[in-house]
Amino acid sequence: MSPVFARSVFAFATKPRRLVLLSLLVVPWTVLATSGGTTLVFPWGLANPITLHVTTLPEYLYARTAGLPGQLLAWPLSVVFYLLALMSAFAGRFEDRRVTAGLLVLAGVTHLNFTLRFVGYDGLVVPLGSIALFAVVWWFHRPDVRDSLNRE
């Protein structure tokens, strides 16, 4: 790989909007704190910060979902929307920023649906992922969304 090509790839990937989108991989999308413990829901899996136990998303889907209510499958669906938005954002000159924004909104709404499932239980539920996804859309994609809504 030539140094010029490597620099251009690095410059492309380090644009602030793309870095912020990638940083959502390390932010817990939901914090569930109950008397029984705390669970952090990331896009890649569930983590218990006390026992350091991690359940990956594939393990959750293939081993833990038997008999679960359908609403608990909203988390994996929100991750699919997020990954599609990442793919769209990294599509370079082929990206339609309105599509990226729409996918991020869908990810936020779907994950909020997952998070609201736990509100009735005793404890604290914080939907950090939905807040972060909506903030990214507002900060980076507000003009795109506004333009697409104002089309006649």
Handedness of CA 88, 89, 90, 91 (dihedral sign): positive
Query: Does residue 152 have a pLDDT over 80?
Result: no
C-alpha 42/C-alpha 54 separation (Å) is 10
pLDDT at position 151 is 67
- Please tell me the class of the 16-149 domain: mainly alpha
pLDDT in tens, 84-95: 999 998 887 787
- For 130: left if phi > 0, alpha if psi spans -120 to 50, otherwise beta; the answer is alpha
- Return the higher-pLDDT residue of 137 and 15: 137
pTM for the whole thing?
A: 0.83
